[in-house]
Structure formats: C-alpha cells, structure tokens
Amino acid sequence: MTTQAPDANGSDVVIEMWADLACPWCYVSKHRLQEAIDRRPDAERFMILMRSFQLDPDAPSEPETNEASYLRSHGGTADQLLAAERQMQAFARREGLDYAIDRMVANTFDLHRVVQYAADQGLGYELFSTLQDGFFTGTLDPYQEEALVGVAESVGLDGQRVREILGNDEYADRVRDDRTEALELGANGVPFVVVGRRVAAPGALKPSGYDQLLEQAAGPVPSERAS
C-alpha cells in the first residue's frame, strides 16, 4: 500500500507493527526494524505502535510444549519441528539474538489484551518487546500471571491494573478489531508493518528492506549525521 508522498518535513512518524508474541519471525523483524530506526539520526521521530494479531486463536489457554503446539496446529512430526527450530535458532543467532528451542506456548489472547492496555499508557512496544525477548531467550514464561505482572511493573505499568484486566474481558474487542483491520489492509499473517499509513510491508524484510521502508514513508535520511 502506498497512499501518500513521503513525509520529509520532520514530523513524527507512527510505525504500526502487527505481531504475535509467539511468532519467531516477528521476534527477528522487531529487532531489524528497531535497528533500522536507530541507524537514522532522526530516530526520535519514529514511534512503534504494537497491534494485535493472533496466529493461533484456537491454542489452549494452558501452556503446552512447543512440540505439542506444532503437532496440533501443523501436523507433521517432532523431527520436522526440531529441524525447523534448529534452523530458526541458527538464523536468529546470526542476527545476534538468543533463541531457545524448548519453549512452552499457549493462547496469546490475554497477552494481547494487556499489551492493548499498555499501549493506552504509551508503553505497548516496551511491554511487548520485553515479553517477547524473554520468551524467545527462554528466560521468561509470559503465560504465568506473576511473571507477566512483574514485567508490566518493570516497564512502568500498574501491576494491580494488569491483574484486573486478566480477570475480566477488557480490551478483547480491540484485540479482535486489530486482526480484522490488518486483514483489511492486506495482511495474511505477521509480521505486518505499516509506516505512517503510507506504506505497508507484509512478512519479514531484510535489514536493508526496513531502511528502504522508512525512507519511502518518511523521506531520506537527513544529511546531518549524528556525531
């Protein structure tokens, strides 16, 4: 999607990123996108707004092994999953990212609801990124309420408010509406990135692809270089 000319006047640019916490390519792409932003001397212009997109809405609420989740949703064999996970692990490590193969996974709907709350506080990206990094490095089980509350508090959110949200159905409609909007914009999965409502990129781009995406939406990198 390209709807407007690039915004080269120095105004702020909102980057909407539809993602799911348990999506490996979202994990890699999130870091690539952040690095593309950080390479620009006008990095402060850009704000990442996390949007919700569940890849497996039918996943059970109780955590299951990565293997059980794969066999339930994709079929195949445990050996096929292990081969795919080892390939992804090697790829992530080449990107400088840790990647744990033995992960417990569960339905991410409640996590999305809490991220929606965090977004209202201006902390959606911080919460999502911290949860996802912990999940893929094997240092955090985000499906455990106390672990989730602890991360929320660490980024500046009200832990009691998070507990209240987990105990009701707040933000459920927004989670569903986000997914519907992504599909209407042309997404058929995640990651899906829209920059300034000007350009959209489905799938995981190469690092240079995110550089080009930002330039296409926000104009070329300013000639003034950070010292």
Tokens found for residue 197: 């409502």
Write the CA distances from 43 to 13, 74, 93, integer angstroms.
10, 39, 25
Superfamily of domain 13-218: Glutaredoxin (3.40.30.10)
Predicted confidence at residue 6, as pLDDT, reads 44
Residues 123-164: tens digit of each pLDDT:
999 999 999 999 999 999 999 999 999 999 999 999 999 999
Percent of the chain residues past pLDDT 70, beyond the cut: 93
Band of pLDDT at residue 198, cut at 50, 70 and 90: confident
| Beta carbons of 32 and 210 less than 8 angstroms apart | yes
- Summarize pLDDT for 7-65 with one digit per residue, the tens: 545 579 999 999 999 999 999 999 999 999 999 999 999 999 999 999 999 999 999 98
182, 10 Cβ separation under 8 angstroms: no
pTM above 0.95, yes or no: no
Q: 177 vs 13, 15, 54, 170, 174, CA distance in Å?
A: 22, 18, 11, 13, 5
Burial (CB < 10 A; 0-12, 13-18, 19+), residue 133, is middle
Q: What is the pLDDT of residues 215-224, one digit of tens each?
A: 998 888 776 5
**Residue 194: pLDDT above 80?**
yes
